[in-house]
Each structure stands twice: as C-alpha cells, then as structure tokens.
C-alpha cells in the first residue's frame, strides 16, 4: 500500500460533533459501520438546503464507499447498524414510482424534519435515482474479512490469521466468515473451528484445504504489517 503523501495547506474540513468521539465511537465495534458513518457525515456536510439527508440510492451507487466497505451488503448493514445505534434516523419515501430510504443525522432538527416528511407536511420533490454500483470489488484478504465482520485487529489475532491463511484456501475462509455471521457467531474461535472441521472431515467432493503460500513475508510488508510480526 502506498503511504499517504500528507495533508496539504488550505484544506476543507468536515465538522463532527464532539459527543461522537466521547459517547458513540467507543461503542462501535464494526469497521464497516465506522467507515460508513464518517463517510455520511462528510456527504451530509456538503448538502445544501433543508433538511440535509442522503438516500440509499446515493450510497449504493457510490464507488468509493462500496470499495471501502467491500460490497453493497456491507453498506446496507453498516447503515442499519448506525440507525439501530441512534447515530442516524431513517424513513422511506416514494418518488416517481421508486422507493427510497432517507438517512438523516439523529438531531432534534432532523427528527422534526423526518416527522414532517412522514406526515406529508414536508414535500421533498422528485428525488434523483442513481443506479447501484455493479463494478468489480477486489476480494478481501483474511485481515479485511476480520475487520469487516468481527472488529479491530490485535497483534495476537493478526498472528493467528496469518497462520490460518497459510493453511486454508481463501474461498474456505470467506465461506467460514459468512457462516459465522449468518449464525451470529462473530468470533475468530468459531470461524477457526469451522475451518478445522472442514479440513479434517473434508468439504465438498473430499477437498482438503492445506497448502503453503509462496510469500510468507507479504503480510509483514503490507498494509497489516503493524499487527503481524514474524
């Protein structure tokens, strides 16, 4: 990964309420949710007029956001988590035959606006529809899968993930993460148990998953080098 060149002079800034850092951020354990919320803060700040909102159509057509979170479903889930946590509020509207979900900040002013939208008192007019982004998204490695589905990486977990990716095919690892998420068992121990079971019992057509990577230093040199030590 190429390091960031550094911040330049005369930059524009996006304001974020202090309470976000003191009361909300400590409770967020999903990297995807944190990325989505910060991105929505930035997008809302650029909006003009009243009320300031962003539609699901805008979010699901945003290449930068989707590439950052990995896929469209992650964007949807991150927004749902932000609503459940009370960071955002949402409401549904129909515009020119299409259904939209609107996301607003959970402020007193926006709660009032949301209520007026739902009662029909506030007409937003025609909403622009954008096609969902269908471009290619680079497949995540095991470290990104962990951050998106479980939480922050630690050096100890980084070592375990490094070992697992040298033993099991990435396709197995991805499926194991999906199975754990579907069962709401978001822990590496649970995922590791799935992989060990598949390795010992076979997974589809008697496949085995054991193999050796060609470059054992790729994680030490790359993006996650700070959490993976040889």
pLDDT at res. 152:
75
CB-based contact 170:139 (threshold 8 Å): yes
Where are the domains positioned within the chain?
18-119, 142-221
- The reply to whether 142-221 shares the fold of 18-119 is yes
What's the CA gap between 83 and 229, in Å, rounded?
37
Q: What is the pLDDT along the chain (230 residues), one digit of tens a residue?
A: 568 888 888 888 999 999 999 999 999 988 889 999 999 999 999 999 999 999 999 999 999 898 888 888 889 999 999 999 999 999 999 998 999 999 999 999 999 999 999 999 999 999 989 998 887 666 667 887 787 788 777 888 888 888 888 888 888 888 898 888 888 888 899 999 999 999 888 776 445 444 444 444 444 445 445 544 44
DSSP state at residue 61: T
CA torsion angle for 229, 137, 175, 73 (degrees, to 10)?
Answer: 120
pTM of the model: 0.64
Return the CATH fold of 142-221.
Answer: Arc Repressor Mutant, subunit A (1.10.10)
Place of tokens 């259904």: 99
CATH classification (class only), 18-119: mainly alpha
pLDDT at res. 1:
53
Q: What is the largest CA-CA distance in the chain?
A: 64
pLDDT at res. 141:
77
CB-based contact 42:64 (threshold 8 Å): no
CB-based contact 98:77 (threshold 8 Å): no
pLDDT at res. 99:
94
């Amino acid at each position: 990964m190429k390091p960031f060149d550094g911040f330049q002079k005369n930059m524009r800034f996006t304001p974020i309420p202090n309470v976000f850092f003191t009361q909300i951020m400590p409770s967020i354990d999903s990297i995807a949710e944190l990325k989505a919320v910060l991105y929505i803060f930035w997008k809302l700040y650029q909006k003009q007029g009243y009320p300031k909102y962003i539609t699901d159509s805008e979010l699901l057509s945003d290449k930068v956001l989707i590439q950052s979170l990995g896929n469209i479903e992650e964007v949807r889930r991150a927004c749902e988590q932000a609503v459940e946590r009370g960071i955002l509020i949402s409401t549904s509207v129909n515009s020119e035959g299409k259904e939209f979900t609107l996301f607003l900040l959970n402020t007193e002013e926006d709660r009032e606006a949301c209520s007026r939208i739902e009662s029909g008192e506030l007409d937003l007019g025609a909403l622009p529809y954008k096609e969902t982004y269908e471009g290619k998204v680079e497949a995540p490695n095991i470290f990104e899968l962990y951050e998106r589905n479980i939480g922050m990486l630690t050096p100890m977990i980084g070592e375990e993930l490094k070992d697992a990716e040298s033993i099991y095919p990435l396709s197995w690892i991805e499926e194991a993460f999906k199975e754990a998420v579907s069962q709401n068992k978001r822990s590496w121990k649970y995922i590791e148990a799935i992989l060990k079971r598949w390795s010992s019992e076979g997974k589809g057509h008697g496949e085995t998953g054991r193999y050796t990577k060609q470059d054992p230093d790729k994680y030490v040199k790359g993006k996650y080098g700070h959490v993976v030590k040889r």
